[in-house]
A and B are shown apart, each in its own frame.
Chain A
């Protein structure tokens, strides 16, 4: 097999006490009753370790919503994986944090919706900001790698400087600033979330200045919105090349949004060995090499770098998962992006649609 999976993203539950307007979970979420059991996950982690996976990202929903989280962390470490927890922090207390670290947790990524309380609570659809601040303090007091994640968009990007100063206060070693990506709930709210071109240019300057000021103190990763890019992002570093995602019910996917693509039959980790799914399942092979590529990708030099962009975005925006990602300025469907940007760069605010909680 030419490709070795390096990272497993385990969405262990879709349950979450927050209701973020840009949540990347699918609109159709998996119910609690359908979630994989502790034993199922333990088996998955063992198989992943044997296949060469290095990093295990525990995410959701809110992973803390599962009461067996400590056991899952322990099982991941037993399988020789590097354990990363991606969390809103809601559900964490001193005791649970100590248990998680004791079980082998390597790294915590704590998400904040904003530096200010009122907008943070508005974007999350809950009052959680003050609690998160206490949790940041708890994390900082312990020996564990700590990253703050901040999702940025039209409604908070003008405060980026303050948000970076805020992240500095939390004592994290690393700050990940990610522009919203337009799948799931975020796509529904796209017109309210996409930043303007002016905001974006300003934000790049702010990040550059902050990087200089904080060099050696806080590392900043900045993910730009691909709508403004000339070429698409190398989504998942290539379909079925390095990463896989397992949803709460055990569906194994090449990327978190892949469920939106019709006609794909996602194998279940309950029914099939992970190795078979990775190496032989039709889904993982569907866009793995270059044979599916249309023009202009097929004869484009960048195809080995961006793999023609994101398949899910191609489906969501161009109606065809085997099309060139419309974000690419060379794509025949690029006008859909231009139109969205035109609307965003000259019109008024809209209403939110809040993410709901699965039963």
Chain B
């Protein structure tokens, strides 16, 4: 799972994008349908802009959520990113 390379950047794969209708749910549209993004997932995906490295994303999240445990943020964010990458939703830039 943690096969992610922290000094590289991720971006959304072709055909995957965040829903822009501003409805009540945060959705990631993909070829097969839609994934519901829970909690901070949307923020995490948005940070994958193809520029920031994963290490930078983690630091940014830790700054963004100062009341949460930094180690936990790191584990959870990387786990989500690994899952999305395995699913072909995110790719290395």
Tell me the A residues contacting B by CB distance below 8 Å. 6-7, 49, 52, 54-55, 80, 82, 84, 106-107, 143-147, 173-174, 216, 219, 221
Complexed CA–CA distance, A146 and B13 (Å): 11
With A55-B29, A82-B29 known as contacts, the answer to whether A6 contacts B34 (CB < 8 A) is: yes
18 contacts between A and B (CB under 8 A): A7-B33, A52-B21, A54-B29, A54-B34, A55-B33, A55-B34, A80-B19, A80-B21, A82-B17, A84-B31, A144-B14, A145-B16, A145-B30, A146-B14, A147-B31, A173-B31, A174-B31, A174-B32
Complexed CA–CA distance, A143 and B16 (Å): 11
In the assembled complex, which residues on chain A have CB atoms less than 8 Å from the CB atom of B20? Answer: 80
Complexed CA–CA distance, A52 and B15 (Å): 19
Partner of A145, one of B14, B21, B27: B14
In the assembled complex, which residues on chain B have CB atoms less than 8 Å from the CB atom of A84? Answer: 31
The 8 closest A-B pairs by CB, nearest first: A145-B15, A82-B29, A107-B15, A107-B31, A145-B31, A80-B21, A143-B14, A145-B14
- Is the pair A145, B13 in contact by a Cβ cutoff of 8 Å? yes
B43 to chain A, nearest CB (A): 21
Interface residues of B in 9-60 (CB under 8 A from A): 13-17, 19-21, 23, 27, 29-34
> Given A106-B29, A174-B88, list of 13 further CB < 8 A pairs?
A6-B34, A49-B21, A52-B23, A55-B29, A55-B33, A80-B19, A82-B29, A144-B15, A145-B16, A146-B14, A146-B15, A147-B31, A173-B88
In the assembled complex, which residues on chain B have CB atoms less than 8 Å from the CB atom of A216? Answer: 86
In the assembled complex, which residues on chain A have CB atoms less than 8 Å from the CB atom of B86? Answer: 216
B26 to chain A, nearest CB (A): 12
In the assembled complex, which residues on chain B have CB atoms less than 8 Å from the CB atom of A107? Answer: 15, 31
In the assembled complex, which residues on chain A have CB atoms less than 8 Å from the CB atom of B32? Answer: 174, 221
Q: Which residue of A lies closest to B34 (CB)?
A: A54
- Is the pair B17, A106 in contact by a Cβ cutoff of 8 Å? yes
Complexed CA–CA distance, A219 and B15 (Å): 14
With A143-B14, A145-B14, A173-B88 known as contacts, the answer to whether A106 contacts B21 (CB < 8 A) is: no
Q: Which residue of B lies closest to A50 (CB)?
A: B21
In the assembled complex, which residues on chain A have CB atoms less than 8 Å from the CB atom of B19? Answer: 54, 80
In the assembled complex, which residues on chain A have CB atoms less than 8 Å from the CB atom of B29? Answer: 54-55, 82, 106
In the assembled complex, which residues on chain B have CB atoms less than 8 Å from the CB atom of A143? Answer: 14
- Is the pair B34, A106 in contact by a Cβ cutoff of 8 Å? no
Complexed CA–CA distance, A143 and B15 (Å): 8
Q: Which residue of B lies closest to A84 (CB)?
A: B31
- Is the pair A219, B88 in contact by a Cβ cutoff of 8 Å? yes
In the assembled complex, which residues on chain B have CB atoms less than 8 Å from the CB atom of A82? Answer: 17, 29, 34
